[in-house]
Amino acid sequence: MALASVALAQARTLLNDDTASVWSDAALIPKLQIAHQELQMALWEVGSPVVRKESALIAVTAALSDLSAIQPVDMLAPTKLFDYTVGSVYASEMTEVFYLPNLELADFHVATLTYWCWRKEKLLVYYSTVERKVKIQYRRLITVPTAGGDAIGIAFGETYIGPRVAALAAGSVGNAEVLKIATDMATANFTRVLAANRGQQKPLSKP
């Protein structure tokens, strides 16, 4: 797995600064972070599995509605939830809603988890009267590098990030020629990154 330093070295080559006499890590790391975030978003838009993940079974105690304290720490947004009876391998897909039914209507609560919603970066469910387990499919955050020794976390991601960093650096000083060359290279290399992280990719119907 490539480190951020590999992408930085590629960027400096395109900037004709292999000795880092002009573009230090401190100057390029913020641009690398922009490129890394762009790459994650682009991979999500085409449904790449590298930015998708499924949790282990998570215990949900009876009457618990706010799951934010037990949701995966790398979750950016859930896409599907599945409800399990404790001790069972059989699951039912839960229904996403924009707003939960009134939680005070106790007469309507049952021994299953049926509805969920994503509000203000919190995962909420219409709670069950008994303990349940849930499995969450979600969009995950790939840790954005903060130093040259950090992993990129995306196979061949450096082939996009390096040229993109060079483009951002060149643009910041008005070097239109290098900006265009590096942008074209990053655009071409995104196709290769996509192929390296291919699964059953398809456009998603929601963010």
17 located within any domain: yes
Q: Are residues 17 and 77 in the same domain?
A: no
175 located within any domain: yes
Q: Which domain holds residue 84?
A: 51-140
Q: Are residues 55 and 100 in the same domain?
A: yes
Q: Are residues 119 and 83 in the same domain?
A: yes
Q: Are residues 136 and 117 in the same domain?
A: yes
Q: Are residues 161 and 192 in the same domain?
A: yes
Last residue of a domain, one of 106, 124, 140: 140
pLDDT of residue 3: 95
The mean of the pLDDT values for the chain is: 91
150 located within any domain: yes
Q: Are residues 63 and 129 in the same domain?
A: yes
pLDDT of residue 102: 74
Last residue of a domain, one of 140, 159, 177: 140
Percent of the chain having pLDDT more than 90?
A: 78
Q: Are residues 56 and 71 in the same domain?
A: yes
Q: Are residues 123 and 151 in the same domain?
A: no
205 located within any domain: no
pLDDT of residue 39: 97
Q: Are residues 8 and 64 in the same domain?
A: no
Q: What is the pTM of this model?
A: 0.84
Note the pLDDT tens digit of each residue in 131-152. Answer: 999 999 999 999 999 999 999 9
Tally of domains within the chain? 2
204 located within any domain: no
Q: Are residues 84 and 38 in the same domain?
A: no
105 located within any domain: yes
| SS3 call for 162 | helix
Q: Report the distance separating Cα 23 and Cα 170, nearest Å.
A: 10
pLDDT of residue 108: 66
pLDDT of residue 110: 83
Chain Cα centroid distance, residue 104: 34
50 close to 201: Cβ distance less than 8 angstroms: no
Give CA separation, 111 vs 5, 22, 174, in Å: 52, 64, 63
Note the pLDDT tens digit of each residue in 14-23. Answer: 999 999 999 9
